[in-house]
Chains A and B, each alone.
Chain A
Amino acid sequence: GNSVTQMEGPVTLSEEAFLTINCTYTATGYPSLFWYVQYPGEGLQLLLKATKADDKGSNKGFEATYRKETTSFHLEKGSVQVSDSAVYFCALSEIKGNQGGKLIFGQGTELSVKP
């Protein structure tokens, strides 16, 4: 079945460091790919998405490119801030007719940014 694998956390970085969180997936067909972010005590918020191969999603300085050849959707940011500390989830959307876009989540990667 479909699955998503993320790099394990926690990831600890200093402010202004470069961030990469790896995400690979297994899927049949052509899923949409998402990154969600969860701040402490809150629900998940969409960070960015890509719906087809070679699409690049971007938001708030974060980027991820849908790489079908390597089945990857790695999250990157050039310069992290303390306010980026959160848990990041990679997810893919299964599309089966009209049965709803069920999300398959990775296990989440906790990011901690120190001043």
Chain B
Amino acid sequence: NAGVTQTPKFRILKIGQSMTLQCTQDMNHNYMYWYRQDPGMGLKLIYYSVGAGITDKGEVPNGYNVSRSTTEDFPLRLELAAPSQTSVYFCASSYTSGYQPQHFGDGTRLSIL
């Protein structure tokens, strides 16, 4: 009963490095989302996907890229890490849009130094 699994849980990067945050879900959900959570700011949507091969920008997409080659996986790529990207990142999925709740992973805490 895994749900949404994110790896790694913690990571420290140097400015300018790149990395990929992994997200996989085993619930056969069509919709997947990436959020970032900054202290006292709630969650902001970075990118989302409504199905394999389809992605779109959210509220704060700059500095990130995504791909969705399978229903299960939705990795988030940081190409040139910047201190402003220090945050906690959450992946979520839902079966359909709107009325259905989203299921969240436990998050990846990322620090850029």
Contact = CB atoms under 8 A, between A and B. Distances in A.
Interface of A: 4, 31-32, 34, 36, 41-46, 49, 51, 89, 93-95, 98-103, 105-108
Contacts, number: 72
Contact of B40 (A36, A51, A107): A107
Contact of A34 (B4, B33, B49, B101): B101
Contacts of A106: 42
B98 A89 contact: no
Interface in B34-66: 40-45, 48-50, 56, 58
5 contacts: A32-B99, A43-B92, A99-B97, A105-B43, A106-B42
A108 to B, nearest CB: 6
Interface of B: 4, 31, 33, 40-45, 48-50, 56, 58, 90, 92, 94, 96-107
B101 A105 contact: no
B104 A103 contact: no
A103 B102 contact: yes
Contacts of B100: 101
A98 B97 contact: yes
10 A-B pairs with least C-beta separation:
A101-B98, A43-B104, A101-B97, A105-B42, A95-B98, A46-B101, A107-B42, A44-B104, A105-B43, A43-B106
Contacts of B97: 93, 95, 98-101
A42 B99 contact: no
